[in-house]
Amino acid sequence: MDLLKKSKNIFIIIAILVVGYLLYTYVFKEEEPLTTTSTSSTAQIFGQDLVSELNHLNSLSKIDTSIFTDPAFTNLQDISVEVEPRQVGKQNPFSP
């Protein structure tokens, strides 16, 4: 019984410490000032991202396409299996 009291007291102390920490961090925490960005800087950032993506796409157009005329590629065969259609069951499987 003495061990049960000790563990209960330890649990209560830990719970109080956790609640105290949460109160301290959420209630007494200093609020950071909000920063606003102007629309011109937002548009400029968006424009830079757009230019970056366009440059990336332009670099993709310079891919070597000679692989498609290579005999190893042209000799590839499709070995996929055709799936046969099955009979459909009820329209609503949960209806009686």
Q: What is the pLDDT of residues 16-63, one digit of tens each?
A: 999 999 888 888 777 666 666 556 677 777 788 888 888 888 887 777
pLDDT at position 50 is: 87
Domain ranges of the chain: 39-74
CA distance 13 to 16: 5
Question: What tokens were used for 91?
Answer: 């329209």
pLDDT at position 16 is: 95
pLDDT at position 72 is: 94
Question: What tokens were used for 41?
Answer: 């800087």
Q: What φ, ψ does residue 43 adopt, rounded to 5°?
A: -65, -35
Percent of the chain with pLDDT over 90: 25
CA distance 56 to 1: 71
Query: Is this model's pTM higher than 0.85 or not?
Result: no
CA distance 50 to 17: 50
